[in-house]
Each structure stands twice: as C-alpha cells, then as structure tokens.
A and B are shown apart, each in its own frame.
Chain A
Amino acid sequence: MKNSLFKYCLRLGDNSLILGHRLAEYCSNGPYLEEDISITNTSLDLIGQAEAILKYAAKVEGEGRTEDDLAYKRPEIEFYNVQLTEQPNGNFARITARQFFMDAFNFYLYSALKESTDNTISAIAAKSLKEVTYHLRRSSEWVIRLGDGTNESKIKMQEAINDFWRYTSEMFEMDEVDEELIAKGIAVDLKPIQDLWNKKVDEILAMATLIRPEDAYMATGSRKGYHTEYLGYILAEMQYLPRAYPTAKW
C-alpha cells in the first residue's frame, strides 16, 4: 500500500512537474506579452502542484528524501509522467493542444480526487482544481480561437491535435497500483474520467471546427518509467546543478 501510494503520487507530481517545466521553457517566447505572462502563470501553478504532491510522496516513502530530492535526483526510469507532458513545445498550436489534452484530464481527475479518502490528496486536489479549472477554460478557448481563426491557424491547430493524439490514451491506463488504491477510495477509476474527457474533447473540437483524429497506434510505457527520448534531455538540464554539486544547498 505504501509503495502504491508513493507511486501514485509520483505519477501526479511528475505530470505537473514536467509539463510545468516545458511551459517554463517557453517564457519570453510568447506570441505577445500578455500571453507570455499567462503561460508562465500556468507553469507556476503546475510547479506548485508538483511541489505539494512530491512533498507528500517523500513523506509517504519515509526514507528522509525531500520533494527536491525526488525532482532533482531521480533517474529517468523512475519518472512516471505521461509521455504527452514531455513533448517539445514547437509552435503555439502544439503548446495549446498538449495543454488542452492535459487540462481536460486534470480537471476531471482532480474533480474526482477531491473526494479521495486520503486527506492530503483530497486537499491538494481541491486546491489544484481551482487552478486547473482556469487552465482548462484558457486552453479550450485557444483551441477554438486557433481552430476557427485563419486558414493557417486552423491547419496548425489540426496538425498539433493529430500529432499528439497518440499520446492521449496513456493517461487513462490503470494497473495494480490503481486497483489497490481504488479499493481503498484513495485513487479514482479512470474509465469514467476517460468518458468525460472524450466528451469534452469532442465538444471543444466541434466548436473549433476541427476533426477528431482516429485512434491508431497509441503510445504507452510511462507507467513503467519508459519515455520518449525527450525526457532524458529535460532531466539532464533540470538536474544539472544538484547532480554536479551534490552537497551544495541552493
């Protein structure tokens, strides 16, 4: 049970950490200043969420590690973020698509986790939900605006949706970790969340005059710590200082 809860927290925390990191990379690259600020805001929310959940993960593990140890000293194979979160920024449509898919997932996930029997998880979920509700509204609006904007923006938005589609089933995968925690009321069943997610995606894509891609090959592996090649580079950069100067405090 302790191991399952630890791993479950890492999944949640790593999703926020890696997506937050990707958004942080975009700082000073926004299409205009107001949007630059908004993306940094989302990034800050996500890193804050990661900090809270990883802190709890460290406590659950009980080995004396901190949230920073978990973020900065773990190897790639022990990261459990879904592969979608680690995909490179590319153009603004790609950032929007990646964000929308994750926001919709997080919105329904945290809505359900608010009722978790684990007090810490339910408290973090309740706090995160406020932020994620706003994120989802923003990213939905962007999908619609770009989809129904110019011809060029429509093409770019559709391409981004198509390219990232293969990474959208991984977030709903469940294994023995989920089973054990669902039985205790700590975790939530992802099947109904997937149904809600599908409905939301269909609704927004329709409003955006975009086409929902067909399911083809769907990426998998993050539940076991397998990632795309991109995660290694994220960690190489992110973990550089704590690993190069292991005794230093910052």
Chain B
Amino acid sequence: MSNTIEELEKQFQEKIDNEIKIEPKDWMPDDYRKNLIRQMSQHAHSEVIGMQPEGNWITRAPSLRAKKILLAKIQDEAGHGLYLYSAAETLGVSRDQFIQWLHEGKAKYSSIFNYPTLNWADMGAIGWLVDGAAIVNQVSLQKTSYGPYARAMVRICKEESFHQRQGFEIMAKMMAGTKEQQQMAQDALNRFWWPSLMMFGPHDSDSSRSSLALKWKIKRETNDTLRKRFIDKTIPQAEFIGLKVPDPDAVLQPDGSYKTGPIDWDEFWNVVKGNGPCNKQRLDHHKRAHDNGKWVREACIAFSEKQDKRKVIAN
C-alpha cells in the first residue's frame, strides 16, 4: 500500500505532536531535512570555528593548570564538532560536503566567534557567557524532534555546563585579583555581553524561520524566550563577583527578571554578512588547515589501499 505525500506528512506531524523522535530512516518532509542540515551543520561548524578564539590564548595561558583546562576545553569543543558532524551525516550529507559549504560561504557558524579574544579574561568570558548562552539553547534542543540531534545534545550539554563553571571561575578569580585583572575582566564582559545576547538570533517578531522550526519541534522555544532566560540567570552572576553588564538600561523588575536595553541589530547583521572583526581570519584559518592537511589525508588513503592489496596477496 503506497502512501500519498499528504498522508506521510500527516503521519510525520502526528509523530512530532506525540513527541516521537524522527530517526534517519524515517520519512521526513524535504524542508524538515533541509532545515536540519542547515541548523546541525551550522552548529557543528560553530563548535569547530570556536576553537580558534580560545586557541588564541593557549600559548599564553598563565599557569600550567590554566593551560591544561583551556586545552581540554578546546578539545571538548572539537569533540562536539565531531558528534554533530556525525549526527548531521545521518541526513545524507558527508562531512567533506559540509566543510566545502562552509568554505564556500554557503554554511554559517555562530557569529560570536567572529569577535577577537584580546585579553586573558576573554577565556573566562567565553566559557561563562558563550558556553552559558549555548547551554540555554542546547538544553532546550535536548528535546528536539530529530533523534540523532537530540542525543548529541544530551552528551554535549554535560560538558558545556562544566565549561561554563570553569569560565566563571576565571572571571571570579580575576575579580578577586589585582586592579589590572579586574579591568581585564570588566573589559572582557563589555565586549562579549552584547554579542552573547545576539547568539540567540533575531527577535521572534523578525525571525522568519522560527514558526516552521517550532511546528516541527526542531526548535522547542523561541529566540526571545531563551535569551531572556540567559539574561535573568547571568546578570546576578555578574553582580555577585562585582562586574557590571554594559547596559545602562538593565533594571531588576519586581518579579525578579531583568528588563534590558535594545540590541544593536545592525551590528548583528553586519557580522552575519561577513563584516565582523574576524570573519575572514577565522575562515581563512580553517581553509588553510584543511588545505595543509590534504596531503596527509591522501597519504592515509594511499597507505590503507596498499595495506588492503597486501592482505589480498597474502591470502
């Protein structure tokens, strides 16, 4: 018995509505697949490109412990990239293809990584704010409708909350330190605060893709809901260690949440379009590493082919 597209779509939406995960072999609408390919590859690329701004301070980490923590953190991010590429590959696109799309500018990554890391406190700010914002988003995505993506998120979230605590620890240590350290910490917050809020994407009223993604439960909550959750959690943390968010309009409301000032969306779109401080640098770095590795990858293939031939001859 063959199903019409309408019937398949109806069954698909029923599964979604009943919180049944969609698995790679299940039928899914083309646009659902496309939407996931875009979101998951963007997520994977973000993990990998995100290695660079933090990698910028590895050689200057100020203690052996700090160096180990930073290295291990960046390694975790690389691991997240791996899980996500694998999960995204279940949609029928190869990792090579994802990377090619990234290099061609057809796939994006989170704009937050197009900002430079200028002092050591940025390692704290990134862990605390960037991983912090990522967690709010990813905790929500643990319930996303596509099975492989949801499972990748469960694994990743555990590590992200660890990163966030480590980042906060760096900030707290610096705020308890010398005047110069306190200045570095405040400067880092000043530069990363607004870009962190932009990580959640445009306001719900301006977010064209949101409604379909919500209907399909790829996204579980809206950009503004998630952003607000992050703000309400983070401002008290800043105040607790003596930092001030760079928003003169931020005020505590009677219900315990915060009202904040307007986000500069011109800056956001400008960076998305490729005009951020580090867009070109980040992409060039990734291309260069990939190109420099080409002969190594080719050697691996040639070697394993030779090994296979030898096995055949030996048998």
Contacts and interface: CB of A to CB of B under 8 A. Distances in A.
A148 B306 contact: yes
A25 B59 contact: yes
A238 B58 CA distance: 9
A36 B78 contact: yes
Given A145-B303, A148-B306, A245-B178, A48 B68 contact: yes
Interface in A25-46: 25, 27-37, 40-41, 43-44
User: Interface on chain A toward B: helix, strand, loop, or mixed SS?
Assistant: helix
A248 B75 contact: no
Contact of B74 (A27, A31, A35): A27
Contacts of A242: 62-63
A240 B79 CA distance: 30
Given A28-B289, A245-B178, A149 B303 contact: yes
Given A47-B67, A152-B298, A248 B178 contact: yes
A73 to B, nearest CB: 11
Interface string B170-184: 100110011011000
Interface in A13-62: 21, 24-25, 27-37, 40-41, 43-44, 47-48, 50-51, 54
Given A44-B75, A241-B60, A241-B62, A28 B55 contact: yes
B139 interface: no
B81 A33 contact: yes
Contacts of B72: 44
A5 to B, nearest CB: 21
A28 B74 CA distance: 9
Interface string B287-299: 0010011111111
Interface in B46-66: 48, 51-52, 55, 58-60, 62-66
Nearest to B81: A33
A33 B48 contact: yes
A27 B55 contact: yes
Given A37-B75, A44-B71, A149-B298, A237 B60 contact: yes
7 contacts: A24-B59, A25-B58, A34-B82, A44-B71, A145-B300, A240-B60, A247-B178
Report the 6 A-B pairs with minimum CB-CB distance, sorted nearest first: A31-B293, A149-B299, A153-B299, A31-B296, A241-B62, A250-B62
